[in-house]
Amino acid sequence: MEAIRPLSAFFEAIERDARISITHIGIYAALLRYWQLHACRNPVEAYSYELMRVAKLSAPTTYHKCIRDLHDFGYIRYEPSFKHNQRSKVFLLLGTSDKQQTEK
């Protein structure tokens, strides 16, 4: 049930948000998949190409626009890594515990 909570919270939150597209949903689903694979730990740490593969995206520009949108709209907290050998961090802000949300 732990893995379903953030997904349910996300769908409740986007229900009336016209800014969210299928691409945003795909990226969020990819983030949830990585979160689940890594014992439901916040933050999710991943390279953009890893998330793009799961979200079925081929354009890095689209990925970066949509992940930044999710951050700006308050669904995630995105901490990009500008180093090629270090994964970016993404905190899921909906449906996860307070302790996990504030981890730095």
Helix, strand, or coil (residue 21) = coil
Residue 73's closest CA among 27, 24, 33, 6? 24
What pTM does this model have?
0.87
What is 4-102's CATH topology? Arc Repressor Mutant, subunit A (1.10.10)
Interior/surface letters 47-85, b for 16+ CB within 10 angstroms, e for the rest? ebeebbebbebeeeeebeebbebbbeeebbbbeeeeeee
Q: By percentage, how much of the chain surpasses pLDDT 90?
A: 77
Mean pLDDT of 24-49: 94
- Read off the pLDDT of residues 78-99 as tens digits, 9 standing for 90 and up: 999 999 999 999 999 987 764 4
